[in-house]
Structure 1
Amino acid sequence: MIDENQSGGAVMSNAMLLSAMLAVATVLPQAAAAQQEAPVTVTSRDGGFVITGTLAGFDGQLLRLSTDYGPVTVDIAEVTCEGAACPDPSAPMVPTLRLSGAPALGAVLLPALIQTFAGRRAVSFDRADPAPDRIEIALSDAGVPVARFELTLSTTEEGFADLAADEADMVMAVREIRADEAQRSFDAGAGDLTGPRRLRVVALDALAPAVSPANPFGGASFPMLAGIWSGEIADWSALTGIEAPVAVHDLPAEGGFAQGFADRVLAPAGLAPAPTVMRHDDAAELALAVAQNPAAIGLARFSQIGNLRPVALVGDCGRRLSLSAASLKAEDYPLAAPLALYVPARRMPQIFRDFLDFLGTPAADLVVRRLGLTDQVPVEVPLADQGERLANAILAAGEEVSLGDLQQMLVELADTRRLSITFRFRGGSTRLDPMSESGVDRLARDIAAGIYDGRQILFAGFSDGDGAAAGNREIALRRAEAVLAAVREELQRLGTPPGAGPALRAEGFGEALPLACDDSDWGRQANRRVEVWLR
Structure 2
Amino acid sequence: MRVAKPTTVGLSALLAGFLLAPVAQAYELEIHGSNTVGATLAPMLVSGYLERIGDGPVVARGNGLENEKELLVQTGNGKVSVLVAAHGSSTGFKALASGQADVWASSRPVKPSEAEAFRSRADLTSPDSEHVIAIDGLAILVHPSNPLNAVSIDTLGQIFSGQIRNWSELGGPDRPIRLYARDDRSGTWDTFKSLVLGETYSLQPDALRYESNDQLSDDVSRDPSGIGFSGLASVRDSKLLAVSDGNAPALKPNQLTVASEDYPLSRRLFMYTGGSGTPAMARELVEFALGPDGQALVADSGFVSQNPVAVKPRFDAGTPESFQRLTANYRRLTVNFRFSEGRTKLDNKARRDLTRLQQYLSDQGRSADDLLLIGFADTQSHELRAQMISELRALSVRKALQETGVPDVAYTGYGQYMPVGGQGSPRNGRVEVWIKER
TM-score range, shorter chain: 0.7 to 0.9
Correspondence list, 1:429-508, <5 A: 430-449=344-363, 451-453=365-367, 455-489=369-403, 491=404, 496=405, 499=407, 504-508=409-413
SS class of match (2:397): helix
1:119 to 2:20 alignment: no
Specify the alignment match of 2:283 in structure 1: 353
1:199 to 2:130 alignment: yes
Q: Distance in 1 between matches of 2:296 and 2:247?
A: 39
Residue 123 of structure 1, CA deviation: 3.5
Specify the alignment match of 2:105 in structure 1: 172
Specify the alignment match of 1:528 in structure 2: 429
Specify the alignment match of 1:59 in structure 2: none
Residue 139 of structure 1, CA deviation: 5.0
Give the paired residue count: 409
Residue 229 of structure 1, CA deviation: 1.0
Match of 1:217 among 148, 154, 163: 148
1:314 to 2:244 alignment: yes
Residue 252 of structure 1, CA deviation: 2.1
| Contact 1:174–1:339 (Cα < 8 Å) also in 2 | yes
SS class of match (2:43): helix
Q: Distance in 2 between matches of 1:393 and 1:127?
A: 49
Specify the alignment match of 1:184 in structure 2: 117
Specify the alignment match of 1:393 in structure 2: 319
SS class of match (1:273): coil
Residue 461 of structure 1, CA deviation: 0.2
Report the TM-score when normalising by structure 2.
0.83
1:301 to 2:231 alignment: yes
Unaligned runs of 5+ in 1: 1-93, 395-405
SS class of match (2:263): coil
CA 1:354/1:288 → structure 2, altered by over 3 Å: closer, same or farther? closer
Correspondence list, 1:217-236, <5 A: 217-236=148-167
CA 1:182/1:427 → structure 2, altered by over 3 Å: closer, same or farther? same
1:149 to 2:82 alignment: yes
Specify the alignment match of 1:79 in structure 2: none
| Contact 2:28–2:82 (Cα < 8 Å) also in 1 | yes
| Contact 2:245–2:264 (Cα < 8 Å) also in 1 | no
Specify the alignment match of 2:95 in structure 1: 162
Q: Distance in 2 between matches of 1:100 and 1:326?
A: 29
| Contact 2:338–2:429 (Cα < 8 Å) also in 1 | yes
Report the TM-score when normalising by structure 1.
0.69
Q: Deviations over 1:382-406 (max 9, x none)?
A: 2xx3313xx3334xxxxxxxxxxx5
| Contact 2:55–2:75 (Cα < 8 Å) also in 1 | yes
Q: Distance in 2 between matches of 1:329 and 1:109?
A: 16
| Contact 2:376–2:417 (Cα < 8 Å) also in 1 | yes
| Contact 1:161–1:181 (Cα < 8 Å) also in 2 | no
Which one scores higher on RCO, CA 8 angstroms, separation ≥ 6? 2
CA 1:231/1:199 → structure 2, altered by over 3 Å: closer, same or farther? same
CA 1:359/1:248 → structure 2, altered by over 3 Å: closer, same or farther? same
Q: Distance in 2 between matches of 1:307 and 1:106?
A: 21
CA 1:115/1:196 → structure 2, altered by over 3 Å: closer, same or farther? closer
Specify the alignment match of 1:289 in structure 2: 219
Across the aligned residues of Structure 1 and Structure 2, the Cα RMSD in angstroms comes to 2.8
Q: Distance in 1 between matches of 2:29 and 2:52?
A: 19
Q: Deviations over 1:281-319 (max 9, x none)?
A: 432332233223333211132212123332222245363
CA 1:533/1:197 → structure 2, altered by over 3 Å: closer, same or farther? farther
Identity %: 26
| Contact 1:319–1:517 (Cα < 8 Å) also in 2 | no
Unaligned runs of 5+ in 2: 1-25
CA 1:316/1:476 → structure 2, altered by over 3 Å: closer, same or farther? closer
Letter in 2 for 1:172: A
| Contact 1:203–1:338 (Cα < 8 Å) also in 2 | yes
Letter in 1 for 2:333: L
CA 1:241/1:334 → structure 2, altered by over 3 Å: closer, same or farther? closer
Specify the alignment match of 2:12 in structure 1: none
